[in-house]
Structure 1
Amino acid sequence: MEAVNTRRRQTALLVVFLILPALLAFGVVRLLGTRDGAAHQAGSSPPSSPAAPSDAVGSGPALDVTARITGTEESTELTFLIARGRAEAGPPTSVTDCRQFAEWAQRNGGVPVGFAPVHTLSVHARRNLDISGVSVLAVQVTEVELAGGDGPWVELACRDDHAPAPTATHPDEPADGDPDRPHVLVAGQAIELPVPLDTPYDTGGAFPHGTVDYQLRVRMDIDGVVEEHRLRNGGSPFRCCGRSTYMGFRSARYEWRVSPPRSLRYCAELRYAVHPPPPKCALRHG
């Protein structure tokens, strides 16, 4: 019995002096390795804090571009082909100038009258930049058949007695006399650029014949880099152009003055054999 107890004490001492130190050393090495790995991982991973404002601006688009129809090749004033009921009702009282009038008319099915539209680009800079080499091309989406059942079709126009005199030059005549001179914008600045339509290489005209839905392909040089934008008329394609006058016929015309006091000038439709008779117009108060 004494011998058995002696062997047990010897085994316990062996564990204490040989095995236990080895286990402690392994634990220390494992702990140090874990800390070193965690420190390495923290040093190599990207920061999770939000990017600085300058980085966010630099990584986004340089500018915002929209477009609107501001006339046709025949006139700087927009006239719309629209259903008679819309023309007689007129715009809501919230419409107080001819620009709002044009937006309202197009939202309600009005089609600009003419042969080719003229557009104005609204450009808002998100940072300091130079713009040059602007080109605009109409890209047809689909042909539009103006059904007779949607009419009868009449002309609709806006008159604003308090509108300022137009200051923009013809799209082919830049205001500064130098079409190649860049436009220099600072961050937050907005400008409007009247632009003509380019003529594509595979057709003879800048705009398709008839009434079509289309988008605008706008190309411009931003600080030496060419950017391309596809523009629509808000949530839908642009639409142009309608006709209201044919041989022997001229549609009725509704001219709304939207600046107070509101009024309506109505001209009856004309039908004739050779030469059109004088228009018959009367002033109506809204």
Structure 2
Amino acid sequence: MRTGTRRTLFLVGCLVTGLVAGLAVWWEPRVPQDPPTPLETSWSAVPAREPEIGVGVRVGGRSAEDGWVLMASEELARATPPDDVVDCRGLQEWALREGALPAGAATHTITVSANYHTTVESVFVKVSPDPTPYPRTSAGGPWVRLACLPQPGAQVPLPDPDRPEFVVNREPSMFESAYRSLTLSEQYAVTPGSPADVEVVVDLRGTTGPSAYRFEIGLTEGNEFRMLPVNGGAPMFATEDGGGMGYWPATALWTMSPTRTHTYCEAVSNPAPDQEPACS
């Protein structure tokens, strides 16, 4: 019996010793481990910018030293532009935003821009009438000539009305070389922040009031031709000048230097040979 008792006590002692050792290990303080260091890579998670090229068209685009003539409502023709408008370029941008329209033969600037370096081999241009109604019919109509001169006595460099590149609202006569579409074959270098500007003259005559027209432009680049959206797909608007031998439209003239001055001349119907408009 003693031998069995000793054997039993020995086994119990072993179990107790193992349990104590196990508890000691379980209660041992855990030291937090640092997260694994990510592997260094030579690439960025930000995707590369896709190459983009685009075209836009604006009326004029002249320098600050060039004058111009637009058609405007009487309200706009008598309005005072913001104080930060200090030259004819700024005045033109403000007037067009406020609803002034080109008339007659008007210079337009096509701008080609890209976020990469490229060469455009040619530019295809088409100008055509559009059925979109003029959205400002309640603004009194663009019946007043709104003009800007950089300084007194300056001349407005109006395009020759007999030599436009494009016509919109009528077919060119047999004596004109104007077209509805034309390919400009000159090459244009375009870089980020340095777009290419192409000037064209558009004959906007042929309607009795405000009308819409649309540019369609395609580029040949790297022997590949593609059409591109213009001005977000929105049409442009123009109107008739309305002047002639028996009628002088009202005229509002801004002279920008040496001080910004405004003169408004009333309309005259059936003027006499020596008659002068009444201006204030």
By percentage of residues, which structure has more helix? 1
Shift of 1:103: 2.0
Q: Is the 8 A contact 1:111 1:242 kept in 2?
A: no
Structure 1 residues 64 and 260, CA, compared in 2 at 3 Å: closer, same or farther? Answer: farther
After superposition, the Cα gap between the structure-2 partners of 1:154 and 1:185, relative to the gap in structure 1 and judged at 3 Å, is closer
Q: 1:50 aligns with which of 37, 43, 46?
A: 46
1:180 is matched with 185
- CA shift, 1:130, in A, is 0.8
Contact 2:108 2:200 in 1 (8 A): yes
**Pair 1:245–1:94, CA change in 2 (3 A):** same
Alignment of 1:56-71 (within 5 A): 56=49, 59-61=50-52, 63-70=53-60
Residues 48 and 218 of structure 1, relative CA distance in 2, 3 Å threshold? same
Give the superposition deviation at 1:161: 2.7
The residue identity in structure 2 corresponding to 1:230 is P
> Of the candidates 85, 109, 112, which is equivalent to residue 123 of structure 1?
112
In 1, Cα distance between the equivalents of 2:88 and 2:246? 30
Tell me the CA shift for residue 280 of structure 1.
Answer: 3.0
Secondary structure of 2:89 counterpart = helix
Amino acid in the other structure paired with 1:279? E
> Distance in 2 between the 1:224 and 1:111 partners?
37
Q: Is the 8 A contact 2:103 2:205 kept in 1?
A: no
Determine the structure 2 residue equivalent to 1:132.
121
Q: Report the CA distance between 1:157 and its aligned residue.
A: 0.8
User: Which residue of 194, 197, 211 corresponds with 2:199?
Assistant: 194
Match of 2:277 among 275, 280, 283: 280
Query: Is the 2:133–2:212 contact (alpha carbons within 8 Å) kept by the matching residues of 1?
Result: yes
Checking the alignment, whether the CA contact within 8 Å between 2:68 and 2:149 is kept in structure 1 is no
Aligned-residue identity in percent:
26
Please state if 1:91 is matched with 2:81.
Answer: yes
Structure 2: distance between partners of 1:188 and 1:146: 34
CA RMSD of aligned residues (A): 3.8
Q: Which runs of 5+ in 2 are unaligned?
A: 1-42, 166-183
Partners of 1:193 and 1:157 in 2: CA distance:
24
Quick one: which amino acid aligns to residue 60 of structure 1?
P
Size of the alignment, in residue pairs?
209
Matching residue's letter, 1:212: S
Change in 2 beyond 3 A, CA 1:91/1:187: closer
Q: What 5-or-longer segments of structure 1 have no aligned partner?
A: 1-46, 173-178, 198-205
TM-score (norm 1): 0.59
**Residues 242 and 171 of structure 1, relative CA distance in 2, 3 Å threshold:** closer
Cα distance in 2, alignment partners of residues 149 and 85 from structure 1: 8
Cα distance per residue 1:61-86 (max 9 Å; x no partner):
1x232221119xxxx95322222222
Deviations 1:110-153 (A, max 9, x none): 12221x44310122231111112212222414254986971583
1:80 to 50, 57, 70: 70
2:110 aligned with 1:110: no
- Distance in 2 of aligned mates of 1:229 and 1:277: 53
Residues 1:249 and 2:247 aligned together: yes
1:204-232 CA-partner distances (Å, limit 9, x unpaired) = xx767323223321111122211222323
Distance 1:97 1:235 in 2: 30
Does the residue aligned with 2:75 lie in a helix, a strand or coil? helix
Q: Residues 204 and 239 of structure 2 are in contact (CA less than 8 Å); yes or no, is this contact kept in structure 1? A: no
Q: Distance in 2 between matches of 1:113 and 1:208?
A: 7
Q: Distance in 2 between matches of 1:194 and 1:277?
A: 38
Say if 1:145 and 1:246 are closer, same or farther in 2 by CA, change over 3 A. farther
Q: Are 2:254 and 2:262, in contact at CA under 8 Å, matched by a contact in 1? A: yes
